[in-house]
Amino acid sequence: MKAYDLIVIGAGAGGLTSAYTAVGFGKKVLLIEENKPGGECTWSGCVPSKALINEAKKFNQVKAYMSLDSIDTKKVMRHIKSVREAVYKHEDPSTLKQDGIDFIKGQASFKDEKTIVVDGIGIKAEKIMIASGSSPFIPKIQGLSQTPYLTNETIFELEVLPKSIVVLGGGAIGVELSQALNRLGVTVYLIEMMPSILSKEEPDLVKRLEELLTREGVWLHTASKAIRVESIDEGIALTYEKEGKAQTVRAEALLVAIGRQPNIKGLNLEAAGITYDKKGITVDAYLRTSQKHIYAIGDVVGPYQFSHMANVQGILAVKNAFLPIKSKITYEHVAWVTFTDPELARAGMTEKEARDQFGNHILVYEYDFNDLDRTQTKGASIESVKLILDKKFKVLGASILSERGGEMIGEIQVLKTLGQPLTKMADIIHPYPTYSEVFVKLGKKAQVDRLLAMPIVKIFRK
């Protein structure tokens, strides 16, 4: 029986990061994946969705200058597949082997707390990392199991896009794909049970985004609960309930984007004595499971199901597994992006979350990008930034609705993570004209506000 220092189950973002980190420490590593290396991000998440979004943006820009009677979505889908393959070249089995990582394609399951079985062969390791990821959550809706539907795992396998589609779910995946598909000529009906899409984000920025999606042609049906779906000659018919009334939308296809569920089926966690529940595998602050030599990271653990968080967890877990000094995971400075156009980026608290915790002992700074010279060069915009600060002008939270908002949130992340006040931005030189100038402007305003709040200044102002 072959033995390793580390067995990693799952070759997605977290699994690959864990394997490469361990190899960097000189460890003998085996990576097990039942599909191709790359996981959700490469094949049905980050990579293909952003490729689709980029193609959709190109067509949307062209529409402003010329009429497009039809879009060859077959070419679009071929392009998306080529992008996936280009990324895969850097993480395929031959590359892994070249980099010192053994790879086995197959379903991994525990025989006991020290042994993993793949295709009937037992393999032992000193440490084990579970990075099995997540899959689309499929809700129990009448008729759904008898009706063909798409998820993010299957939509990118299409050769051509449908003429119309019902998107079930107004979270990040549903909203991103709704806008992109609509821009590529697909009639989109977005059904969301909550009163708004992206219900956990800053409400006033979400409202701006909803209005934009509606103007672009997406049919938004919020506060709408799907109750029944059926196959029809033209495709599918979905019935939803809104304000006590049943309504039906019909389309060629249905995309289910309700949420995610952890991939724990088939792992035989009970045989290893690993504690888990419907939310995933239970870990401590060191990312150890109930078996202290077995770690778990990424979507199968949560609480944030992002590739970049799986990377952070993977590096920390490997360090904890093999280095004498252990570190606890912290989620104090997490950031994420919904890749709509414009992007909606977020770090830390919303205004409501901050008020719930600190009451009125917070400061709120907002800036409409229409007041930026850079924005005026392209015309009226919905872009805006909202910063939530404590009384010392340190960042509690930030939401940015902007082109390249995902890049811009990085500046705020630096301030927030290093515990520096927004006033520091007042003296940082930024190129002109750029979107990031907004932070200089807000920094200067905060600097003036802090000056005016000083007792001695208040005395002289009387």
Inform me whether the pLDDT recorded for 455 exceeds 70.
yes
48 in any annotated domain:
no
Residue 255 and residue 270 in one domain:
no
What local confidence, expressed as pLDDT, does residue 5 receive? 97
**Closest listed residue to residue 128, CA positions, set 9, 34, 32:** 9
What local confidence, expressed as pLDDT, does residue 270 receive? 97
Task: Tell me the per-residue pLDDT of 137-196, one tens digit each, with 9 for 90 and over.
Answer: 999 999 999 999 999 999 999 999 999 999 999 999 999 999 999 999 999 999 999 999
Residue 408 and residue 436 in one domain:
yes
Residue 255 and residue 153 in one domain:
yes
Inform me whether the pLDDT recorded for 462 exceeds 80.
no
What local confidence, expressed as pLDDT, does residue 1 receive? 57
Inform me whether the pLDDT recorded for 299 exceeds 60.
yes
Q: Residues of the chain with pLDDT > 90: what percent?
A: 94
Angle at 402 between CA 401 and CA 408, to 5 degrees: 100
Residue 306: CATH number of its domain: 3.50.50.60
Domain count for the chain, please give it: 3
Q: Is 436 left (phi over 0), alpha (psi -120 to 50) or beta?
A: alpha
What local confidence, expressed as pLDDT, does residue 64 receive? 80
Final residue of a structural domain among 213, 231, 259: 259
Q: Is 243 left (phi over 0), alpha (psi -120 to 50) or beta?
A: left
Task: List Cβ neighbours of 187 (8 Å cut-off, separation of 6 or more).
Answer: 163, 164, 165, 217, 219, 251
363 in any annotated domain:
yes
* Stretch 220-233: mean pLDDT: 97
Burial of 390 (0-12, 13-18, 19+ CB in 10 A): middle
181 in any annotated domain:
yes
Residue 273 and residue 315 in one domain:
yes
Q: Which of 103-112, 247-256, 294-303, 453-462 has the lowest mean pLDDT?
A: 453-462
Q: Where does 171-279 show beta strands of DSSP type E? A: 187-191, 219-221, 225-232, 235-242, 245-251, 253-256, 260-262, 276-277
Residue 301 and residue 351 in one domain:
no
Final residue of a structural domain among 206, 234, 259: 259
Task: Tell me the per-residue pLDDT of 371-429, one tens digit each, with 9 for 90 and over.
Answer: 999 999 988 899 999 999 999 999 999 999 999 999 999 999 999 999 999 999 999 99
What local confidence, expressed as pLDDT, does residue 148 receive? 97
Q: Residues of the chain with pLDDT > 70: what percent?
A: 99
Residue 207 and residue 291 in one domain:
no
Task: Tell me the per-residue pLDDT of 34-91, one tens digit each, with 9 for 90 and over.
Answer: 999 999 999 999 999 999 999 999 999 998 888 777 899 999 999 999 999 999 999 9
Inform me whether the pLDDT recorded for 16 exceeds 60.
yes
Q: What is the pTM of this model?
A: 0.95
- Altogether, the residues listed in the chain come to a count of 462
What local confidence, expressed as pLDDT, does residue 373 receive? 92
